[in-house]
Structure 1
Amino acid sequence: MYFGACYYPEQWPEERWETDARLMQQARFNAVRMAEFAWTRLEPSEGQYDLSWLDRAIDLMDRYGIRTILGTPTAGPPKWLMDLHPDIYQQDIYGRRKGFGARRHYCFNNSTFHTYTKRIVTQMAERYGSDSRVIGWQIDNEFGMIDTARCYCDSCLNAFKAWLQQKYGTIDAVNEAWGTIFSSQTFRSWDEVHLPAYAVHQHHNPGLALDFRRFSSDSVCAYQKLQIDIIRANAIKSQPITHNEMGKYNHIDFYELSKELDLSSLDIYPNMKSEPKDRPSYAAEQHDMTRGFKGGRNYWVLEHQSGAPGALTMAPTPVPGEIRRWTYQSVARGADAIVYFRWRTLPYSIEELWHGILQHHGDPGRKYEEVKRIGQELEKLAPLLTGTTVKPKVALIRSYDNDWAFELQPHMQGYEYIKHIEAYYAYFYERGIPVDILSPEADFTKYSLLITPNLMMAKESTVTALHRYVANGGCWVADFRTGAKEWNNQMTQKRLPGPYRELLGIDVEDYGVIEAHEEIGIHDLSTGATYRSSQWYESIELLPLGSPAQPMAVYTSGYYKDTPAVTRRAFQKGHAFYIGTVLEKQGLYAILDQIVDEAGVTSLIPNLPAGVEAVARVDADGGGREVLFLINHTAVEAVVSLSDSWSDALSDQQLKGPLVLNPQDVKVLHQPKTIPMLFG
């Protein structure tokens, strides 16, 4: 377990460094992240490199038992470079070139910038690639953030044409895929291809717009690989390569970005969420997404909130106990490194309101004491957690391609693909049922229950895998618009739900939007309850098959009254479920309760109190070890019922029966029988 903070020695007087290192050592730090914004200090002018200050910082930290994670500094190209080559700047959809003053101002496809990137990364890789004090590499910083994943300059136009040529082969194939015959948009040659920049109403051909998003994501991946290749050629095996991903956002396909990385990483700021009651779920979902980028593997947190974030205005300051609670949420969900952002709050520039562990004055305070306590606890827990991971029995599929398609054409007013996924995720979070969030191309055969929200388009391999999954005994939940589009973003000409029609045993006879003033309900045939339906409906007919689908709920109004709204079909060894509308929370939870029971999935803690989070880490190799985290995210006392005997890993007390969790409290429990295996 790595534990530390982001530290920027170039931003502080060198005579202060040792004071910081000593305080870090007292807090049980064993890692710092450095250098990802230091290009101008590493290369003050073209070709004049100075890494001596970084040598001294790494050496000092090592003397205090602290290793270094190095970031390549390419997120902030220096002013001298941008002045020499202004063509490196990104260009927006209006044809305006962006300027200097923040960061991430470069074009991913600019060949000149590639040259300078290779030079600075090579300098760092050759210097530190064999240095055992360096324990890992972070490529760049937060790819795609602040609207920087998509550029509309000539470099990108030329690269986009090359990308299309490789994908489609001929311009005629592009015309066919995009349906450019509409409104005389047909291209006669590659020279006529354009980017989806400023146009009338900003409504571009959906095929063009989706392919541009895919291309832009691929451009980021290619730029990252340029750096990875240099580091891999110089680095020892004990230096994994990662990137601090922000996968909750859809600027990039983070599944693709993660393929070349040794491990995924996350930047997490729970208090950035506006609704306090949703903050724990919001953060938990980002952890589970990050774990899923590499198919369910543990990850690092390279920026972990330790103070009030803010550039122009501040988010709430963490109250006492909150940093500890967030940290344990991260560890519980698979984080093997916690690196707080930042060590000390900067007194100048755009992050002077982005608070860290120490305030501007640099003296230890209550946040430092809380972090120090966490460090002592994690030092004790490290042997217990080594070799453990999260192993859910439920997988939730999040597709960036479908996210982009719904972003371009939401279908319904106010509809957001990611919020639809969050509705499902909230159910499992509140029920205390662990979830992996995976790519549609991941291996989901090990899961008992699979949810694919709004899988409007999918590759043929995914379609085949879903059929095989259900046939072999899996429970699959699909919902409205499933199978409605082809991979090129054209509407399918098959009867809906397209390639899943016989698997689900239904026809979607008709569909449409539910206006805000309409009162449309569904009647749950199992419980007899009625719930509200909104935004979208699908009128479903059951196919006359040997094993027919059965209605689980029917509409109570509309011209489609009494027709199925939710269906269930037994298919070979498994079951396929379909939800044809947007259900209110109570209705969705009632339906999912029935499906979860059918799949044989259970909560870690039955009847989990509201606001209490339960997560377990278990042996990655299938051993019997289980570490159970109970986290009270509320300001009131909560009582959790334990059915077995547990040992409190922090106090070494034996526990059974009702367990009282104080406000903001955390318990880390394990079965007493696991102690000999760990320490014997």
Structure 2
Amino acid sequence: MYFGACYYPEHWPESRWATDARLMKEAGLNVVRIGEFAWSKFERYEGQYDFDWLDRSIAILAEAGICVVLGTPTATPPKWLMDKHPDIYMKDKQGHVRGYGNRRHYCYNNPNYPRYVRNIVTRMAERYGNNTNVIAWQTDNEFGCNETTRCYCNDCAKAFRVWLADKYEHIDRLNDSWGTVFWSHIYNDWEQIELPAYTVFPLHNPGMELDFRRFASDSVVAFQQAQIDLLRELAPNQPITHNLMGAFDEIDGFDLSAPLDFASWDNYPNLTFADQVNPADVAMQHDMTRGLKNKNFWVLEHQSGSPGGNFLFPMPKPGEIRRWTYQSVAHGADAIVYFRWRTCLFGAEQFWHGILQHDGLPGRRYEEVKRTGEELQRISSLIEGSSSGAEVAMIRCYDNEWTMEVQEQAFGHRYMAHFKRYYRYFYERGIPVDIVSDRVDLTSYKLVVIPHLLLSRPGFAERLYAYAAQGGTVVLDFRSGTKRWDNQMESEPLPGAYKELLGIRVNEYGSLMNGKTYGVALADPAAEASDAQASPATASTAANASAYLAQTWFDVIELEGAEAIATYAEDYVAGMPAATRHAYKQGTAYYLGMEPQPALMSALMNRICDTANVHPIAGVRSATPGVELMSRLQVNDTFLFAINHSETTGLLHLDEPMHELIENRQHAEGEHELPPNGVRIFRYTQPKNTTR
């Protein structure tokens, strides 16, 4: 397993490099990431390259047994280049130039920039493509960070028109798709098309807005592909990755990751304005990254100190770096690279703290990283490459996310916030989830959950029907089937393409504004009482419909073969279905016509998981809140991770005796304490099912 840090030798005197390498080795580090922001050091003057300093740094690291992930430095074109070609700068929606002084100050569609990118990447690949100590490449750095995906310059306008012409071929096909007859927007020529930038009111044609987001994402993918092609040619034996950003939605991560050898992401749990970090949100982003290629991933920037620019986010408390690291490993990380090795003395990230403080002396965080490295070195050969064993898939679709960004439909409603509600249900119960594309094979999953399937990729509806027909269980919810792939509204009765699968018709719908809720009653009173008994928090009010509340939205549903599993309890929709179940051939399709609050989400999803035969991870009968459970599977072994994210001692009850890897000792069946920040990895030494 690779275990290391992001290192910037150009920031420090060369006399310090050997000391850094020694300290890294003593801490168990075996890899560093280098070079992603060093273009002006590599090529201070146009055409004058200096890689000697990097050669010396790599050699010192190699002597200490530390290998290198080399970043292409294209996120930071140097000042001489920007002065020579100021048209490379991006423009914002108002037409203002986004100028020099930070990073990512380039437009993906500028015609001048690619030749300079080719030059620097070619020089680096020729020099290091056969260097055995360079084990991988990282393209650029955090594509799209700081809202740098969508540019509104003239070059992007020209490229957008070419993209549209290639897609639609004839201008009237575009007019039909966008519905430009509305507001007299009919186009006669491609050159008439503007970018959806600043106008008298921030409301553009939804078809145009969606196409622009697709175009901008494709532009990043094409920009990266040019680098990948060079690296494949000149460094064919070294894998390529990119450090994505989890829930970030400006770029289609599935498209961006497709040509990579493995996906990576940058994990900063404390980079939040929330009062408290929700470990479920971090777990979800790990699972999102694993799902990009449906295989294990790397964390190329892992928080090791307090992040910060002009102010500081929270500093990791003792034990948190180790806990976060194990959470990453539990969800499929086969490499951990901390950001950064040493906190920088200058520049915009003086307060973005690393393993070492500004003084470069080993301290508390260094010792914690060292301990973690020693533990991982002992157990990594057992768990590296293992899979999640998930029986549940959640489908993330960037096109639907962009559609709801363009038209949120209910005030303040966000696709990703809605997505998290489902994910947290599974997380809190120790049910592993794969977060995958709508293009993957679904047949290995017992349950597929698809939040907000407004529009469907051509052919997907047929695949979903086939999955259900063969015995799969599907969960769809409100707004499903309401849009065509071009973002026009569906003219068929709702839920459009999914009407037969769901056995319902949505006759009417509306939003619940200003915090309004609807009471919801479960259709089976006996089951409601059972749910309440299983959930003490709702037991006292189970008989009262107000124990279950819906928010945000309501569909007025007519049953056409389905049965109601929940009904509205008030207003003019009282007694009408709020959630439904439909037997479709050998499978089952559920529909949630509103957004459930947590108690209702639990009650509904408990039933759905039970009928789909989806259960928590085997081996643990129960765990107290705050204790995360996750599994990784090898051919004949299951590794059960138990991680206590709370500040109090947690309890977990083992179903049988198990061997624990970190402490290397046997644990008896029964209840065990898990201290704050505590981690246990239990191993089943014989073949087992992943769930009980």
TM-score tier by shorter-chain length is: over 0.9
Distance of 1:532 and 1:375 partners within structure 2: 46
Larger mean Cα displacement after TM superposition, 521-530 or 487-496: 521-530
Task: Give 2:436's aligned amino acid.
Answer: L
Distance of 2:627 and 2:682 partners within structure 1: 15
| Alignment match, 2:199 | 199
Larger mean Cα displacement after TM superposition, 456-465 or 317-326: 456-465
Asked if residue 230 in structure 1 is aligned to residue 243 in structure 2, the reply is no
Distance of 1:386 and 1:483 partners within structure 2: 40
Counterpart among 631, 642, 648 of residue 616 in structure 1 = 631
| Alignment match, 2:425 | 427
Larger mean Cα displacement after TM superposition, 433-442 or 67-76: 433-442
| Alignment match, 2:622 | 607
| Alignment match, 1:471 | 469
Aligned pairs for 1:450-529 (under 5 A) are: 450-516=448-514, 518-526=516-524, 527-528=527-528, 529=542
| Alignment match, 2:285 | 286
**Ranges in structure 1 where 5+ consecutive residues have no aligned partner:** 675-680
Q: Decide whether aligned partners of structure 1 residues 191 and 32 sit closer, same or farther in structure 2, where only a CA change above 3 A counts.
A: same
Distance of 1:476 and 1:292 partners within structure 2: 19
Counterpart among 578, 599, 603 of residue 586 in structure 1 = 599
1:479-515, CA deviations, whole angstroms, 9 ceiling, x for partnerless residues? 0000000000000000000001011000001101112
| Alignment match, 2:15 | 15
| Alignment match, 1:532 | 549
Task: Give 1:404's aligned amino acid.
Answer: W
Assess if the C-alpha contact under 8 Å between 2:269 and 2:277 holds in 1: no
Q: Tell me the CA shift for residue 519 of structure 1.
A: 4.4
Asked if residue 561 in structure 1 is aligned to residue 583 in structure 2, the reply is no
Task: Give 1:586's aligned amino acid.
Answer: A
Assess if the C-alpha contact under 8 Å between 1:139 and 1:227 holds in 2: yes
Distance of 2:2 and 2:151 partners within structure 1: 36
Aligned pairs for 1:237-276 (under 5 A) are: 237=237, 239-275=238-274
Assess if the C-alpha contact under 8 Å between 1:441 and 1:461 holds in 2: no
Asked if residue 374 in structure 1 is aligned to residue 372 in structure 2, the reply is yes
Distance of 1:633 and 1:106 partners within structure 2: 40
| Alignment match, 2:642 | 630
Assess if the C-alpha contact under 8 Å between 2:621 and 2:652 holds in 1: no
Distance of 1:210 and 1:99 partners within structure 2: 27
| Alignment match, 2:25 | 25
Q: Decide whether aligned partners of structure 1 residues 364 and 566 sit closer, same or farther in structure 2, where only a CA change above 3 A counts.
A: same
Q: Decide whether aligned partners of structure 1 residues 276 and 626 sit closer, same or farther in structure 2, where only a CA change above 3 A counts.
A: farther
| Alignment match, 2:562 | 549
Assess if the C-alpha contact under 8 Å between 1:394 and 1:450 holds in 2: yes
Corresponding residue SS for 2:571: coil
Distance of 2:406 and 2:385 partners within structure 1: 42
1:399-435, CA deviations, whole angstroms, 9 ceiling, x for partnerless residues? 1101111011000111000000001011001011010
| Alignment match, 1:92 | 92
Q: Tell me the CA shift for residue 163 of structure 1.
A: 0.5
Aligned pairs for 1:291-370 (under 5 A) are: 291-294=290-293, 296-370=294-368
Assess if the C-alpha contact under 8 Å between 2:246 and 2:286 holds in 1: no
Distance of 2:657 and 2:385 partners within structure 1: 23
Q: Tell me the CA shift for residue 660 of structure 1.
A: 1.3
Distance of 2:515 and 2:5 partners within structure 1: 51
**Ranges in structure 2 where 5+ consecutive residues have no aligned partner:** 529-541, 688-692
Assess if the C-alpha contact under 8 Å between 1:357 and 1:368 holds in 2: yes
Q: Decide whether aligned partners of structure 1 residues 402 and 558 sit closer, same or farther in structure 2, where only a CA change above 3 A counts.
A: same
Q: Tell me the CA shift for residue 671 of structure 1.
A: 2.2
Q: Tell me the CA shift for residue 129 of structure 1.
A: 0.8
Distance of 1:472 and 1:166 partners within structure 2: 38
Assess if the C-alpha contact under 8 Å between 1:273 and 1:282 holds in 2: no
Distance of 1:246 and 1:10 partners within structure 2: 25
Distance of 2:276 and 2:629 partners within structure 1: 16
Larger mean Cα displacement after TM superposition, 401-410 or 515-524: 515-524
Task: Give 1:541's aligned amino acid.
Answer: E
Corresponding residue SS for 1:343: coil
Distance of 1:609 and 1:91 partners within structure 2: 51
Q: Tell me the CA shift for residue 278 of structure 1.
A: 4.5
Corresponding residue SS for 1:553: strand
Assess if the C-alpha contact under 8 Å between 2:637 and 2:685 holds in 1: no
| Alignment match, 1:677 | none
Amino-acid identity (%): 49
Q: Tell me the CA shift for residue 94 of structure 1.
A: 1.0
Q: Tell me the CA shift for residue 517 of structure 1.
A: 5.8
Q: Tell me the CA shift for residue 444 of structure 1.
A: 1.5
Task: Give 2:335's aligned amino acid.
Answer: A
Distance of 1:600 and 1:177 partners within structure 2: 42
| Alignment match, 1:437 | 435
Task: Give 2:569's aligned amino acid.
Answer: T
> TM-score, with normalisation over the residues of structure 1?
0.97
| Alignment match, 1:406 | 404
Q: How many residues align?
A: 665
Distance of 1:124 and 1:38 partners within structure 2: 12
Aligned pairs for 1:68-83 (under 5 A) are: 68-83=68-83
| Alignment match, 1:221 | 221
Corresponding residue SS for 1:201: coil
Q: Tell me the CA shift for residue 387 of structure 1.
A: 3.3
Aligned pairs for 1:131-170 (under 5 A) are: 131-170=131-170
Q: Tell me the CA shift for residue 443 of structure 1.
A: 1.6
Counterpart among 651, 667, 674 of residue 639 in structure 1 = 651
Aligned pairs for 1:34-73 (under 5 A) are: 34-73=34-73
Assess if the C-alpha contact under 8 Å between 1:271 and 1:279 holds in 2: no
Task: Give 1:250's aligned amino acid.
Answer: D
Task: Give 1:618's aligned amino acid.
Answer: L
Q: Tell me the CA shift for residue 625 of structure 1.
A: 1.0
Distance of 1:387 and 1:255 partners within structure 2: 21
Corresponding residue SS for 1:602: coil
Q: Decide whether aligned partners of structure 1 residues 69 and 471 sit closer, same or farther in structure 2, where only a CA change above 3 A counts.
A: same
Distance of 1:445 and 1:312 partners within structure 2: 49
Larger mean Cα displacement after TM superposition, 341-350 or 523-532: 523-532
Corresponding residue SS for 1:668: strand
Counterpart among 550, 573, 577 of residue 590 in structure 2 = 577
Task: Give 1:557's aligned amino acid.
Answer: E
Assess if the C-alpha contact under 8 Å between 2:334 and 2:385 holds in 1: no
| Alignment match, 1:180 | 180
Assess if the C-alpha contact under 8 Å between 1:145 and 1:251 holds in 2: no
Q: Tell me the CA shift for residue 279 of structure 1.
A: 2.4
Corresponding residue SS for 1:329: helix
Aligned pairs for 1:388-407 (under 5 A) are: 388-407=386-405
Distance of 1:280 and 1:519 partners within structure 2: 28
Larger mean Cα displacement after TM superposition, 437-446 or 47-56: 437-446
| Alignment match, 2:382 | 384
Assess if the C-alpha contact under 8 Å between 1:432 and 1:608 holds in 2: no
Asked if residue 654 in structure 1 is aligned to residue 671 in structure 2, the reply is no
Distance of 2:523 and 2:622 partners within structure 1: 24
Task: Give 2:627's aligned amino acid.
Answer: V
Q: Tell me the CA shift for residue 342 of structure 1.
A: 0.2
| Alignment match, 2:539 | none
Assess if the C-alpha contact under 8 Å between 1:645 and 1:671 holds in 2: no
Q: Tell me the CA shift for residue 673 of structure 1.
A: 4.6
Distance of 2:247 and 2:25 partners within structure 1: 33
Distance of 1:533 and 1:521 partners within structure 2: 6
Corresponding residue SS for 2:270: helix
Distance of 1:404 and 1:133 partners within structure 2: 41
Assess if the C-alpha contact under 8 Å between 1:632 and 1:638 holds in 2: yes
